[in-house]
Structure 1
Amino acid sequence: MSMLASASRSVRLSRGIAIQKRGYADVLTLPGKTAIQYGAPGRSASSGQVATVFGCTGFLGRYVVAKLAKLGTQVVVPYREEDEKRHLKVMGDLGQIVPMEWDIRSDQQIEECLRHSDIVYNLVGRDYITKNYDFEDVHVTGAERIARIAAESGVPRFVHVSHLNASKDSPSLFYQSKAEGEVRVKEYFKDATIVRPGSMYGYEDRLLNNIAIWPIWWKLNNMETKIRPVHMLDVAQVLASFSSLPATPGTYNLPGPSTLTYEYLLSLVSSVTYQPPSKAPVVPKSVALALAKAAQYIWWPALSPDEVERRFIDDVDVEGDWASLGVEPSEIEDFAINYLRRYRSA
């Protein structure tokens, strides 16, 4: 009996130790609800927040999901194809990553994806037109639909990712649609946060990788086009930080820290990959447009006509809002080796 009593007291003691006490600092007040944070900082913790990231399977989206999950946020990841979201499942602890099938033209599926969220991110974008979706469908109508349903569902915060060069007067349909998308989003979600990053570089980018594979297409405009490339991890950090900040309405420009020409980027890629500079001739714009139009009939276009147009447009010269967001942007030279090492012949 004494042994049983001793064991019983031990169980009660162990259970008592396991009980965690909460303090006022653990209480998180969010618009419309109060949540309790628990656990050590990291992917196994819970921040008490839920976020939906539309466009999570894209280049930028996967890093936003990873950073949100690391903060302990439960992340809803809408996907179109089953295999596209497999790599996202391991970015958070069990139950932190919630995949849900969706279609950009389905109001019901969009509402199901965001109905329980404290913050919604719209990262959906398209670099080129396909037979199923054009720029209007994705950047304008799609963005408007997500913003409208988020507002109707009572979502307190909405973050929309546009582009640094978004302008209704741009010769590029891509930039025009990005500007129109911003207008439509603000019509339905007046306190929306608009983020305008420059051209992003990283592991799966269409900048450094394309320059290494197809340097001829970056010789357009005599390589004089000026861009302000920005690290995708810096942009992802800014987007993730919005989840822990109060309402941040307005437009935030996120250009890279330096203005570089295509000529400089070609030289940088050549020096890092140990490949000699490309001897390909400069292709006239008319010829590039003709080749790009022909490439549209290929399953995966090498270069679309609108991308050719964009290769002749300089990035706008605006001051970045990095300082107010607590992030210092990285120089492309510091990370180029990480993303270009694979192209070295040795």
Structure 2
Amino acid sequence: MARCRQKEDESPNAFHSRLSALEKLLPEKLPDQISALLFHTHLVPALQRRIEEQMEVAKTRDEAVAIAQRVWSASQPLGQAKRQNNLNDPPYPSKRGRNDTSPLQGRPPSRSYQQEKANQPGSSSNSALRSSTGTNRRNGYEKRGRAVDSATSPAPWPYVRIKSRFHTPAVVAGSIQTNIDLDTGAECDLVSIEFVRKHNFHPAKASAPRLGAVGELRCPTYGCYTVPIVLTDSRGTIRRFERVCIAVERRLTPGSSPVLLSMTFFADVGVHIYIHDSTSFWFEVNSRTVQLVSARQFEKEVRNCAYVYVVVRLPEEV
């Protein structure tokens, strides 16, 4: 035990392993403080002086090893310290995607070797598959240098569930049949600048605020325009109104919506959305759309009309 000392080119971790093997031969286990002192006194003198200069006193063996390794690594050249530390690290996949403990670095291991590795405790089918293929899929390369296409390869887990946007058919500018998006998360009404230039909408006397997108990205605006819209809800109620929309770069594709109506539109007009369907909505019934009359007046108005009335519950009450 007295002759066991750290070598000049030996890391403290390696010396700790060698000294611990000798301590196991002792009849009794040393106390933790004595074991830490024994480890410190058997280090090389230069390393002992550097540790004592930093006034670091270890109370346990693990603390003594950690302090010595940190001071030793700081005093060693980067390449040499890294090589010494790697001697005590577990094997990791190399640049060729193979483990350091596998035989024949240039070719895949045999089937018997794969079965032997799979039967070992703590091994998994994934590690056996990774070592048998001889690839580095983490970096996007397969055997023989072929790239892995992540878009076509199946995902290891199911995709996150998504829901289609809420849109409804509408008539814009009197005769343009198109779709309109209804978004409760948006704060202002938007229109595609390409759609505005194509149909020559009139500019509105309003200033566009600064718009922000996901990730604190700024969204450029191109002024405000008045967009006349005709909407029909799920009950058949028709409403005509004009909305002041901010022109933005909104890509127009088949089936897309050039206009987006926001929460401001819902509050101004009064719109209820049926969340279980992507197209069902209805206008709120208020004093502007419903008129209360007496029974005699009601009978007089419907005498010469073909209207049929039925008492139903409002959709928002169902």
For the superposition of Structure 1 and Structure 2, which TM-score range results when normalised by the shorter chain? under 0.3
Given the two structures, how large is their TM-score scaled by the length of structure 1? Answer: 0.21
Task: State the structure with more CA Rg.
Answer: 2
Given the two structures, how large is their TM-score scaled by the length of structure 2? Answer: 0.22
Bigger RCO of structures 1 and 2 (CA < 8 A, at least 6 apart): 1
